[in-house]
Each structure stands twice: as C-alpha cells, then as structure tokens.
A and B are shown apart, each in its own frame.
Chain A
Amino acid sequence: MRILKALKKLHKVVTGTIINIVNFILLLPVYFIGVGITSIIAKLFKKGFLNLKKENKKSYWTNNEVKKGEIEDYYRQF
C-alpha cells in the first residue's frame, strides 16, 4: 500500500515536471516571437498597452463604457 502511494506520488511529480518542461519550451517561441515582435513593432509606432506614464491630471477617473445591452451582448465573452 505504502509503495503504491509512493509510486503514485512519484508519477505525479514526474508528469508535473514533464508538463512544466514542455510548457516552458513551447511557450518560449510564442513569447519571444509572437509577443516580442508585436511588442517591438508597437513600440516603434509609440503604441502603449498599459498606462504606466506619470501624469498629473485634474482627475484620473475615466468613463465606464459598459452599457446595459441586450441579452445577446452578455453571451459574448468580450
């Protein structure tokens, strides 16, 4: 029983490690090519994705654009 439990645990650790390694390798090109090229091009055109700039406005509130829609609008995931 104890051996079985230990084997199960080992199996979990091994598969977890393999999944992590595969993910790490697969996501490398996605990040450095997909995200990277888009990011570099966007930055060349001075396009920002997050507002990280320091600014001193009178107010930082922005309008919430969510309008009450039809039921179909809520079936969308965006």
Chain B
Amino acid sequence: MYILGVSCFYHDSSAVLLKDGKIIAGAEEERFTRKKHDAGFPINAIKYCLKEAGITVKELDYVGFYEKPFLKFERLLSQHLEMFPFSYWSFYKSIPSWINEKLRIPHLMKKKLGYKGDILFIPHHLAHAASSYLVSNFNEATIMTIDGVGEWATTTYGYGKGNEIKLEKEIIFPDSVGLLYSTVTAWIGMSVNNSEYKVMGLAPYGKPTYYDKLKKVIDIKEDGSYKMDMSYFDYHYKLKMPSKKFIEEFGSIRTQKEEVNQKHKDMAASVQKITEEIYFKILNNAYKKYKCKNLCVAGGVGLNSVANGKITKNTPFKNIYIQPASSDSGTSIGVACYIYNVILGNKERFYMDNAYLGPSYSYEEIKKFLDDNEIKYKILKEEEIAKKTAKLIRDENVIGWFQGRMEWGPRALGNRSILSDATNPKMKDILNLKVKHRENFRPFAPVISKEDVHEWFDIDQDEELFMLFVYPVKKDKRKIIPSVTHVDGSGRLQTISKEQNERYYSVIKEFEKLSGVPILINTSFNIRGEPIVCNPYNAYKCMMGTGIDYLVMDRFLIKREDNLKDAWDSEKIAKD
C-alpha cells in the first residue's frame, strides 16, 4: 500500500511516501528547485518519491494534505471581516493565490500530478502531532504542538496511545507564541519564517531586560495558556508584524545597515525567556493531566533547540522525541502516517531513527558526472576514506562531505555536511571566511560519537539523533572544543553511532586518533542563503563557489585547487 503525504503553499513544501507503513522516501521541494523555503507545489519532491519507489501516480492508494484549506480560508476571511477596512492590501496580496491554488488542491493534484483520486485533508495540528508521535518509539506519550498558525490553532496539547491521537486543548489565532517570536525576529531586522533560529543563537549574548515589558504584550497563565495584546501586532491584517505601539514600546525596527547591538541581543534573550516559560508551563500542566514521562513535540517552535534542551530539567518528562523536520515540512510525514495508522487503523508504527530519506547517487552516477565535466579527482579505497578525511580536517581543511541519501529536515546530519576541526579555535573564523559568511554571533554545531557523549556534554539522554537539543558542554571540556562551544557554554549536538552512519562515524573516530577528541564541526553543506545541496552538481558547484578545500563524494576525493577552471564567487549571488 502506497500513501503520499503532501505539505505546501505556506513555507517549506515537502512530500513523503509510505510503503506498507514504512517511510521509504521524503524530501523538501527547495532541494530540487534550489529556492530556499520553496512553498510551491512540491512536484519535484513527489516525482522523486515515486521514482524511489519505482511506481507511478496510478499506484498510489491514498494521498493526504497537511491541512483543511477551507478552514484556513475561513480564518483568513475572519481576519478581513474583523479588520475592515484596514486590511485591503493584505487581502489583495493573498486572495489571488487562494483562488488559483490553495482552494483548488484536488484540481492541482490532477493538473500537476495526474492524480484523479480523492484526497484526505488532515487538520494541521493533528498532522504536526502525528509527524512526531506516530514515528516515535513510544507506545504512549504526551504531545505538544506549537507553531505560527495552522487553520486556527497555534498551540495544542494532547495525548497519543498506540495508534490513536487526541489533541484536547488549544489556543487559537491571533494568539500565537510562534508569531510573537517571528515579530521579534522581524523587529531585529531578520527575515520571518527563516531567521528565528538566529534570534535563538543571539539570545545568550543578551540579558532578558525586556522580559517585564514583554509581559505586557503577552499574559501567561500557570497552565501555560496565554493571551496576547493585539494592539502590539499588525500581522492579523497587514503584511508586517510589529505595530506602531510595539515600536513605541521597544524602539524602531533594525535596518539592514544597522549593526546588531545590545538592545537586539537583550530582546532576543527576553523573547527566548518568554518562549521557554510558556513551553515549560504547558508541559508541566500536560504532565499533571496525563502523568506520562514520554513527550513528543512538533511545530515550528519545536525547532527551538535551546528550549528543548531544558525540558528535562524544567519538567518531569524523561524521554523526548522530536522529528527532524518539526516545522511545516514535516507534516507530510504526519499526514501519511495518520492515514495509515489512525484512519486505516494499522497498529504497527514506523520508528524514524534517522533522517536519510532523500535522494542518493551511485558511484557510477557520480563518476559519470565528474568525467563528463572533466573534473579532476582521486578514487579512495573504502578503508582510506575516513583516515584521509580525518587527516585533511586535522590539517585545517574544510571538507564538503557528500554521502548516501540526503537528509530530511533543515539540518545536515552527516550526508550533506561540511566537516571541520572543532578543536581549532580559529575554525569558526575560517569557516565564516571561506564558506558560511555568517553573523559572528552564530555558533557552529558539534557531532560526537554516541558512546562518548556523556564524557563531553551534560546530557540526560544517551543520544541526540537530529540536532534538536542544546546541552551544556562539560566545563572542563569547553576550552578543548572552542569552535563548537557557544558563548553560554552550550552546543547543539548530534550523536552518531556506527550502525546509523558508518562512514561518518569512522571519520570522527579517525579524527579522535589524531586529536584525542571524538568531535567534529558539522554544518550544513550549502551556499549562504541557498538550500542544502542535493546532487553532485550542487555539491561541486558549492565547493567551487566557496572556499571549501576538498569534496569527499562517495569514494571520490576532489580538491578545489585542482579544478580552479570552475571557480566562481558564490558571495555575488548569496542572499539572506
């Protein structure tokens, strides 16, 4: 039985294919179109899923969509009815896409995909809840979903047991902690639905001096429910987020020319504190009700790895599962699994313990690409790959690491990664100079061999599969791995075992032999402002447009310096 889950038209479109209850393929559309956060119909992602399964559209048994479009449209109309006559510009900007696309999903599926069957529409927060709980390894769990907004709901909690899910309580639009975070992101002069993670990275540089002022904007109850004073916001009827009153209270919106200053850092720290307060209050309240120590989180706010890393310290929850694409792109998983497990009643659930759901390229395909383009390379023996890569990393090189199937979700987890030396104090600057050109306040993340994690981090879990939790680096170790230790002494780590990804793991262990440290910097393999690389062409182009020194693609070792005929400057096109 084949089930296709689709999510699109808000941000980060994606598609996932289930075969007899197992996820066999999944990808975000942006990886194929090379348009970051592409919200368009995920035709390329769907085609990839079908190709991976070797089937045609006709063989799909069910197709599911990640929300109820008419309910979302009802919310949109309500916004205009409430705010008339002040919302015309937003009405004019949004209505055409509703008429042409969003209200015509079955028509689009037929036109773009050739799918003529019925479509199942799963309520958005239920799709979020399913995207985490149904692919977790828990047989029962408390569930919290928290995002910008779905149809109406913005925050929910409930319970999953066996193959059943019940979301019991909700907070609805316009009250939304996700949109509050986005408003502050916009106020700091960063892009909404994109740069919220930068605000999270900025927070440790500040003090939550605006916390009390923000409390005037949002009233938080002991049970985690909250209500916002909407006079501080414009997002319910305009295309901008903070209102005039917000600006009067907190100061003007940062312009692109203006440096990020202490005020912005303090505001980031304050909104992070508010978010954590809501997070933990909801969870403590939900725990009182369900008394279950397993927790599943989903929704865009679930990508807040700083808050995630503090859950076990601030609540009674002991085991936490968050699916790697916690935001909207991940709902296509939720949709497909909800159809299979809940609607069709199949009890056996799929446990998602890795994120390698995307396309892979064979040795022959990569060789053909390299030969056709007259790219110089060396072929390594299998046993040489890890040793050679580790040595290059130790020698201060930046490595593009392209192996196996592309990751699902926003994080590179060892198949489309840039790897470098975490022990080198200069490496953050080197990476920023050569490739990333990031704001200086943003940290790089560590990957560590699973068995060593307790020696290096204060972590109460045995593994962290998807880089969704920030934990403190042990105090005596911070100086040893300066490039992955954030200003507050923390790191957003990934653990990896031999069984999960042998080549990736082996590089870490070989690096340990050279340095005594089983940790590398792992950052996403992409040009600034572009999606993570998908195919060999993207990877090679990225290396030649940046300062990446070597590309290890399957068993091929490609040195940038040997191929300078293809060099170009990616910063000329870089956005963001």
Measured CB to CB, the residues of A under 8 A from B are 23-24, 27-28, 30-32, 35-36, 38-40, 42, 48-52, 54-64, 66, 68, 71, 74-78
Tell yes or no: B39 within 8 A of A by CB: no
Of B80, B85, B123, B221, the contact of A66 (CB 8 Å cutoff): B123
Residues on A with beta carbons closer than 8 Å to the beta carbon of B164: 68
Is B26 interfacial (CB-CB < 8 Å)?
no
Instruction: Give chain B's interface residues, CB within 8 Å of chain A.
Output: 64, 68-71, 74, 77-85, 88, 91-92, 95-96, 103, 105, 118-123, 125-126, 153, 156, 158, 164-175, 219, 221, 223, 225-227, 229-230, 236, 339, 342-344
Nearest residue, chain B, Cβ from A22: B96
- B239 CB, nearest partner CB in chain A, Å: 15
Q: B152: shortest Cβ distance to chain A, in Å?
A: 10
A27 contacts across to B, CB distance below 8 A: 91-92, 95-96
Residues of B within 8 A of A76 (CB): 68, 70, 121
Contact between B236 and A50, CB atoms less than 8 A apart: yes
- Find B227's partner among A35, A42, A55, A75 (CB 8 Å cutoff): A55
CB pair B92 A74 closer than 8 Å: no
The answer to whether B70 and A77 have CB atoms under 8 Å apart is yes
CB–CB A77/B121 < 8 A? yes
* Inter-subunit contact B221/A59 (CB<8 Å): yes
Contacts A64-B170, A66-B126 given; does A74 touch B121 at CB 8 Å: yes
Residues of A within 8 A of B74 (CB): 78
Q: Which residue of B lies closest to A65 (CB)?
A: B170
A64 B174 Cβ-Cβ under 8 A: no
Of the A-B pairs whose beta carbons lie under 8 Å apart in the complex, a sample of 5, sorted by A's number, is: A23-B95, A35-B91, A50-B79, A52-B236, A75-B118
Q: Which residues of B are found within 8 Å of A35, using beta-carbon distances?
A: 77, 80-81, 84, 91
The reply to whether B120 and A71 form a contact with Cβ atoms under 8 Å apart is: yes
On whether A62 and B80 interact (CB within 8 A), knowing A71-B343, A74-B121, A75-B120, the answer reads no
Residue contact B219 to A56, C-beta cutoff 8 Å: yes
B337: min CB distance to chain A, Å: 14
Which residue of chain A has its CB nearest to the CB of B106? Answer: A77
Please report the C-alpha to C-alpha distance between residue A8 and residue B470 in the assembled complex, in whole angstroms. Answer: 49
Whether the pair A24, B92 counts as a contact (CB closer than 8 A) is yes
| The one of A23, A28, A32, A60 that contacts B221, using a Cβ cutoff of 8 Å | A60
Known: A49-B77, A60-B221; 6 extra A-B contacts, CB below 8 A, are: A27-B95, A36-B85, A57-B221, A59-B221, A64-B156, A78-B68
- Shortest C-beta distance, B331 to chain A (Å), equals 14
Residues of B within 8 A of A75 (CB): 118-121
Closest residue to A60 on the B side, CB-wise?
A: B225
Task: Write out the residue numbers on chain A whose beta carbons fall within 8 Å of the beta carbon of B167.
Answer: 64, 66
List the B side residues contacting A24 at CB < 8 Å. Answer: 92
**How many Å from the CB of B74 to the closest CB on chain A?**
7
Contact A52 B230 (CB under 8 A): yes
Chain B residue contacts of A77, Cβ below 8 A? 68-71, 103, 105, 121
CA distance A1 to B343 in the complex (A): 55
| B277 → A minimal CB distance (Å) | 14
CA distance A54 to B80 in the complex (A): 20
Name B227's closest neighbour in chain A (CB-CB).
Answer: A60
Q: Which residues of A contact B339 (CB under 8 A)?
A: 74
Distance (whole angstroms) from the CB of B424 to the closest CB of chain A: 46
Q: Contact check, B226 vs A54: say whether CB atoms are below 8 A apart.
A: no
A55: chain B residues at CB < 8 Å are: 227
A74 CB contact (under 8 Å) in B122, B156, B166: B122
Distance (whole angstroms) from the CB of B141 to the closest CB of chain A: 17
Q: Smallest CB–CB gap between B286 and chain A, Å?
A: 10
Question: What residues on B are CB-neighbors of A68 within 8 Å?
Answer: 164-166, 342
CA distance A78 to B69 in the complex (A): 7
CB distance A50 to B169 under 8 Å? no
Q: How distant is A18 from chain B, measured CB to nearest CB, in Å?
A: 13
CB distance from B429 to the nearest CB of A (A): 40
A64 & B121 in contact (Cβ 8 Å cutoff): no
Query: Nearest-CB distance from B254 to chain A (Å)?
Result: 27
Contact of A61 (CB < 8 Å), options: B82, B166, B170: B170
Closest CB in chain A relative to B281 CB, distance in Å: 11
Chain A residue nearest in CB terms to B65: A77
CA of A58 to CA of B82, assembled, Å: 26
B85 pairs with A32, CB closer than 8 A: yes
Question: Nearest-CB distance from B420 to chain A (Å)?
Answer: 40
Q: Which residues on the B side are within 8 Å of A78 (C-beta)?
A: 68, 70-71, 74
Query: Which A residues touch B71, using CB under 8 A?
Result: 77-78
How far apart are the CA atoms of A44 and B339 in the complex, in Å?
44
Instruction: Tell me if B226 and A60 are in contact (CB < 8 A).
Output: yes
Q: By the criterion CB–CB under 8 Å, are B225 and A59 in contact?
A: yes
Contact at A59–B158, with CB atoms within 8 Å? no
Is the pair B171, A60 in contact by a Cβ cutoff of 8 Å?
A: yes
Is A64 in contact with B153, judged by CB distance below 8 angstroms? yes
Contact with A49, one of B79, B105, B168, B175 (Cβ below 8 angstroms): B79
Q: Are A48 and B82 in contact (CB under 8 A)?
A: yes
* Chain B residues positioned under 8 Å from A50 (CB to CB): 78-79, 82-83, 173-174, 236
| Interchain CA distance A14-B546 in the complex, whole Å | 36
Query: Which residues of the partner chain A approach B175 to less than 8 Å between Cβ atoms?
Result: 51, 60
Q: Is the CB of A63 within 8 A of B80?
A: no
